[in-house]
């Protein structure tokens, strides 16, 4: 893992956006794995800005989102398709047919999940996957106890996750209990991963993810096994890391050709 500690959340968002800009410039038909939640919103805003300035072109980019609520259609304000349209898809020149979000209204969840996996394969696999981190260590919606080898499938979220994701739903009871999520095995096949976490409430789970033992009890710990995972943090989220000084040293000494 490469641990990048930035002073503020905005600095962390800028670092992540620069990594995506470099990816798209290096490979204009990149396959991007995208995430929802509050953490990536600033990254999407920066990508929109870079697009406006003519620095990145999404014309050939393909995207796959991590997850979606079962029972919600694209027009529902709580759906992740809606979120993506609002924060990114409607603001850049990505082709609608090149954007993929699991279909919350599918008639057959298992068949749709198999199709989703097949679409990722047909596109050549995910080049760069953006991830957020929940307080219980889930990635996508792979809650604690998820198989570390899992593929895209139905999951039942925890009561805490429902409470954390109240947003437009108003109350935790109204948050759908079932979701379709890429599996941990699916996520692990991405060529590169950018995991982002900002803010003090994430400090404990960040320390566990980076420095704890690998366990399905904290799914994000599996990223220690990923061959190319960047963890982009702000100081608040990095506060409980024991080796923070070493991570800073590595970043300060990063070779010029590796910088974005
Ligand atoms: C949801 C999403 C995750 C996201 C998490 C954290 O559970 N399915 O992909 O990482 O929320 O969200 P936030 O960034 O708002 O803390």
Residue 30 to residue 123: CA distance in whole angstroms? 9
Protein residues whose CB sits closer than 6 Å to any atom of ligand 1: 35-39, 66-67, 132-134, 140-141, 161, 165
Tell me, yes or no, if 143 is annotated catalytic. Answer: yes
Q: What is the pLDDT of residue 166?
A: 95
DSSP annotation of 222? G
Q: What is the pLDDT of residue 56?
A: 98
Tell me, yes or no, if 235 is annotated catalytic. Answer: no
Q: What is the pLDDT of residue 213?
A: 98
Q: What is the pLDDT of residue 41?
A: 98
Q: What is the pLDDT of residue 26?
A: 97
pLDDT averages per 10-residue partition of the chain, 260 residues: 98 98 98 97 98 98 98 97 98 98 98 98 98 97 98 97 94 97 98 98 98 98 98 98 98 92
Q: Which member of 138, 164, 226, 234 is catalytic? A: 138
The mean of the pLDDT values for the chain is 97
DSSP annotation of 51? H
**What is the atom index within ligand 1 of the atom nearest the CA of 132?**
10
For residue 119, how many other CB atoms are within 10 A of its CB? 13
Q: What is the pLDDT of residue 189?
A: 98
Tell me, yes or no, if 138 is annotated catalytic. Answer: yes
CA dihedral 251, 246, 34, 70 (to 10 degrees): -170
Helix (H) or strand (E) holding 22: helix 9-26
Of 223, 194, 198, nearest in space to 19 by CA: 194
Q: What is the pLDDT of residue 142?
A: 98
Residue 141 to residue 69: CA distance in whole angstroms? 10
Q: What is the pLDDT of residue 160?
A: 95
Of 221, 230, 223, nearest in space to 251 by CA: 230
């Amino acid at each position: 893992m490469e641990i990048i500690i930035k002073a503020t959340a905005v600095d962390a968002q800028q670092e992540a956006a620069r990594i995506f800009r470099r990816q798209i410039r290096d490979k204009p038909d990149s396959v991007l794995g995208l995430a929802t939640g509050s953490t990536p919103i600033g990254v999407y805003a920066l990508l929109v800005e870079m697009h406006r300035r003519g620095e990145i072109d999404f014309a050939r980019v393909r995207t796959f989102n991590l997850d979606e609520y079962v029972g919600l259609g694209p027009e529902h304000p709580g759906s992740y398709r809606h979120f993506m349209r609002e924060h990114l898809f409607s603001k850049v020149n990505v082709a609608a047919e090149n954007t993929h979000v699991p279909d919350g209204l599918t008639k057959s969840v298992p068949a749709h999940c198999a199709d989703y996996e097949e679409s990722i394969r047909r596109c050549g696999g995910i080049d760069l996957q953006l991830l957020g981190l929940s307080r219980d260590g889930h990635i996508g919606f792979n809650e604690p106890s998820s198989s570390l080898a899992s593929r895209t499938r139905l999951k039942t979220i925890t009561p805490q996750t429902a409470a954390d994701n109240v947003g437009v739903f108003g109350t935790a009871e109204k948050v759908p209990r079932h979701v379709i999520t890429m599996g941990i095995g699916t996520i692990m096949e991405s060529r590169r991963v950018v995991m982002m976490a900002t803010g003090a409430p994430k400090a404990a789970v960040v320390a566990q993810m980076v420095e704890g033992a690998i366990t399905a009890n904290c799914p994000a710990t599996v990223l220690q096994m990923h061959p190319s995972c960047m963890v982009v943090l702000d100081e608040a989220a990095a506060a409980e890391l024991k080796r923070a000084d070493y991570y800073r040293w590595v970043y300060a000494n990063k070779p010029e050709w590796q910088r974005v």
